[in-house]
Each structure stands twice: as structure tokens, then as C-alpha cells.
Amino acid sequence: MESTIPGIPGIPGFTHDRVTVTDGIDLHVAVGGTGTPVVLLHGFPQTHLMWRHVAADLAADHTVICPDLRGYGASDKPADPDGTAYAKRAMAADVVALARELGHERFALAGHDRGALVAVRAGLDHPDAVTHLAALDVLPTLDMWDVLRGTTAAVGFHLYLMAQPPGLPEQLIGAAPDAFFGHFLDIWTRDPNALPADVRAAYLKASREAVPSIVADYRASAGIDVDHDRADLANGNRLRMPVTVLQQDWGAALGYDAAALWRAWAPDLRHETVGCGHFMAEEAPGEVAGALRKLLTR
């Protein structure tokens, strides 16, 4: 499962390239299929490879674009001296520019985990470019912080660790990156067979080589991303396109109404709970691909 870039696993049948999206930033991207475009954004601690099953399915009748996000995988990892390089606004702009460079002014967009936060920001900032939007197993940034309270917040300890000022989080995670990133690959997966050894190894390698940028991505979600979301709420900016959200039933576990939280951001919403683990595109790819196909008909 090698891509055309040596040493980087890829999606069979997809071509792989590096595309310049802004000055000094290139994204690694896998592209396959023909038809209306769908962009798929990966989550933490993964790369575009997490979409391998869903992408192959959708490529039967869509052009499927799977980038590594800025700061992840084989994409560029800029320094972040002022806390803005990994704002979801900047990462969303990367995605819109990538699609445009590949010849698509308008496209459907789906994101998982961190990629879902980038997708939501793209939908808010670029509503004329994003035709449909899917978010897998996250809450909007403001809501995420609001629901993590008391002892239940322990499930999100990594959010608080990586929200700390530069220095300590990078040092702690960098001292044992495979233990840190592997922890999430293990506890968030209900079906271990969904992450074969070679794929798991690829995720760990990519993550250990990107500790500063991954931390910067998370740190932005405790800072500048919150500011941007609050401004949208105050200004009445909402997701105008059809939105599908797939989530585990975290609301029941942590005591909140996930669909209601999402509906405040997405008036045209379909919210569904799933029975698999967090890495649903790998554990239940048929269910995810089916939900995306239904979204594209709305």
C-alpha cells in the first residue's frame, strides 16, 4: 500500500502529489475517481490514510480528494510563533485553496475529529465553496469545552495538556510519542482489526515526526479558534449547507444533547449516533460511505 511518495502508505488506485496552497505551504494529497468532488479530512492521530476504505467506495462516482492536513503526515509543518499558523481558519483556507488548485471551486466536505473542526470552519468561512458538510465524532469547539466538566473531563485530558503554553507539552509528548499517540489508537478503537499493524505503524511514525505541529493545532482550539467561533455566534453566522453529523453516543455518557448543540450551528442537520468506535471510517466504512452518499443527495 505504498504511495508514489517513497515510504508513505497510500490509498490503492489513488495518485499522490504535493500541492502548494499558500506561500510556503504544500499539502500532500491523494486523489482518485471521477465525478463531483468530495474532500475528506482526517483526524488525530492519523493521516489521509484513515479514509482508505471510504475513499475507494466514493471514488466509484466522485472525485475524492484526501489531503494530509497542515502539520500532519507528509504535509508541511510551519512554525507557529504567534499562535495563528494552526488556527482552523488557516487550515480551512488550505483546503479551499487545495480544491481550487485541483480545479474545483465547489465541493462537498467531510471531516473526522480534528478534520471535522477544519471542515466546520471551512463551511462557516467559505459557504460558497462548500456544498455539503459532514462531521464525524466531534462537537463544535465552543461546545466541546463547555461539556467537558468535572471528572468527566478526564476523557479529554489531551485537550488540556496540549492547550498549555509552548514548551512543556511538546517535551512531555516528545519523550514518549508512541506511548502517547498509541494510547488513543488503542482506547478509541472498538475493533482492533480496523487498524492493521502497517497502518498503525504509519500513524505512529507520522505523529512522532509532527509533535510540535500537532500540539499547535490543539493549542489553537483553546485560543484563537474559540475567538473565531464566539464571533460567529455573535454575528449569526451558521452553516448554510446540508450537514450530517455522525457521533458515538457521548451525549448520553456525558450528559448533553449532542443533536441540539449541533443544530445551533447547522439548521439543515441530520444527526446520527453510531455503534462503532471513534475511528468509524475504518471500523464501519460502509456505514460512513452510505451516510455521505445520502448527504450528497440533499
Known catalytic residues are: 113, 278
- Residue 85 pairs in a beta bridge with none
Tell me, rounded to whole angstroms, the distance of Cα 22 from its chain centroid. Answer: 20
Find the helix packing angle between 197-208 and 177-187, rounded to 10°: 130
Identify the three-state secondary structure at position 203: helix
Retrieve residue 130's grid coordinates.
Answer: 462548500
Burial class (CB in 10 A: 0-12, 13-18, 19+), 222: middle
Furthest C-alpha separation in the chain: 48
Identify the three-state secondary structure at position 287: helix
Retrieve residue 18's grid coordinates.
Answer: 504535493
Instruction: To the nearest 10°, report the CA torsion of 95, 90, 267, 259.
Output: 100
Retrieve residue 53's grid coordinates.
Answer: 476504505
Retrieve residue 272's grid coordinates.
Answer: 446520527
For 238, phi then psi, to 5°, come to: -135, 170
**Residue 156 DSSP class:** G
Alpha-carbon Rg for the chain, nearest whole angstrom, is 17
Within 8 A by CB and 6+ apart from 81, the residues are none
Retrieve residue 176's grid coordinates.
Answer: 514518549
